[in-house]
Structure 1
Amino acid sequence: MKHSILKRYWGYDAFRPMQEEIIDSVLEGRDTLGLLPTGGGKSLTFQVPAMLLPGVTIVVTPLISLMKDQVDNLADRGIRAVLFHSGLTPREKDLGMTRCRLGKAKIAYVSPERLQNERFLAELRPLTVSLLVVDEAHCISQWGYDFRPSYLRIAALRRIVGEEVPVLALTASATPEVTGDIMRHLGFREPRVFAKSFTRENLSYIVRYADIKEPMLLRILSSTSGCSIVYVRSRRRTRELAALLNDAGIPSEAYHAGLAPEEKEERQDRWKQDETRVMVATNAFGMGIDKPDVRLVVHYDLPSSLEEYYQEAGRGGRDGRESLAVVIAGKRDKALLTRRVNESFPPKDFIARVYELAGNFLNVAVGEGFGMV
């Protein structure tokens, strides 16, 4: 049946590596963790089972743009899906929930923030839920680079839909610490873990050194072609570099978390439709964006971790064709990274002092109470 579903709705004759094993595990009712590289086809591992299982599949995913993309793509294939996020009107939410209750939707995409709404959780109780999916599951981990507290509410969601409902957690990058954290937070029972090799043969990783980075960026973009992303670390720099590139005749847009939702959507759509060649963005852009033909990803500023770099560089070449991931490094970058760490965390002696004072206040001796709440 799974192959006929794949052929009927997606037009493929065979699954990609590791997809079928994950689907089989889910259909057996097993808690499953899928580690697939960006572009490895994570969505099919829950969309195909959703069409085979009764009731509705709930997918918790962090980006509204991803939800909208997937719901639109599924509608084009004749698959009914709904979404729930804080930007909907009460009428839109009620309509979505009614569709789920009447069996008019097979997949319900939910933002993590909705899980903090007790009324919303109560409305989920009567639904027949056959599968709970956690996309970008590294967000649940204290070791992940994109930790989001609302993800911790997923464990409560599992109790509401029923402990017997299997969980599928998906991510494109997870260290052993993150993997363990994901399974612990989600209460996995007899977990099955499927990990595909993270090697991307079609991606070339390149580092270019330049004390003045603007000319190097212009040279890279002028000597390449196709859709591109340039990652920076500040909102101001997105605007400055987009203006620089436009002045040089390279159609560009700036994208960051401070833009209004409508503006984000418009800029994203222009980029996806190739009206804009380059998106100059902070790390607010890219997660879940399903554009296969990104030929170039440039890191103008260094990311905070190798894990974050791999996620962002992996947005290039999802169609399997040759693509470039270029880092522009300068003398000041090491000092900037060090300063960023120092700004993110208080000094060690300050943490020790707070720990001591908290212990005094709670009558807990220093060194005692490990593992207790």
Structure 2
Amino acid sequence: MRPLRRLWPALEALPGLAAVTEEWKDRFGDDFDAGRELLRLTNRRAEAYPCPSPGGFGCPRRVVDHGNGKLVAVCGDRPKRCDKLMLTKQDIAIHEVDVRKLCAGAAVAFGIEPTFDEISDLCHTYRVGDYHPEAGKRFPIFLTIQTDRASLRDVAARLCAATEPAFILLVPTPRLIDMAMTELLGRQEARFVALVDIFEKAENSALRANDAAGQIVSDFHETVLPKEKAGSPEHFPTPPDATWGDVIIEFVDGHTVSARCNSASGRYNYTQMGMVDRRSGNPDVQWRLLSELADGHGQLDWGASAARPENKKRKQTLNQRLSAFFGIEGEPITWDKQAKNYSCRFQLAPD
């Protein structure tokens, strides 16, 4: 494979991302065979046609329709620099960049599910999809195609303001990026990635992603999900899109549980699950409540001997700890008004 040195800069040099085939050939150069994959035919027709001359007040050539299918490109310079050129309807058909297809290709390169969405109020800016390494963790990947530094700076600033987690912002080339923009994104662990660095031209002239995309995702992962410090609560490797109904917790002994969720499993103690009393080092009241719920196989009746008024607050805190550990949205333990008991939405069993 070889780098695409003409294709990506061309996208940043053409406002509107649309032109006739002749202009795309001129801008893409040797990359046209690969770049044509990203173009789609529109129902629009050009009113001007590219000139071979350096350009003057009458450039580009004006398209004149003489009727009966007779189309002519006419030079507007005086004296004329270009000869008249007979055209066909195909010659003046406008092709635009298929941003949905480009975003889909980027999603495949990063190994994510494509969820194309055009970002309102941001010109030529799109959501490619989300990097979803584990349950409860989603980091958006955006694509923006701008033609000047001020516009790119505005897009970067507005995405930072509107996006809480870290994100990746794809751009055709790094040409418009400056240090201030890099630092702006860096403050929330976001980063720029240039398409020129992750796509190349294959031997059959097709557009193909190289190995750089995988390394970029790996580096991004290490930044946004660093390894846990010793002694701090851990996070269960919950598969993406898992629900509380997929979780099974079984007590092994008074200090340890076995946890499973679809294909992921492991053994964890109360410290690893963030339920340690920092003063004594012993299990805290949330761990004891979890154990009491296990004795009832996931239920705790209000009339049971273990039921206490203070468990209402403890249940709320236990929900927070379990949600942080598994990264699954929604309450794992609910209050059933009719049955008057606490009920786990996951399977829970004693030792």
State the TM-score, normalized to the length of structure 1. 0.20
Higher helix share: 1
Higher relative contact order (CA 8 A, sep 6+): 1
Higher strand share: 2
Structure possessing the higher radius of gyration over alpha carbons: 2
State the TM-score, normalized to the length of structure 2. 0.21
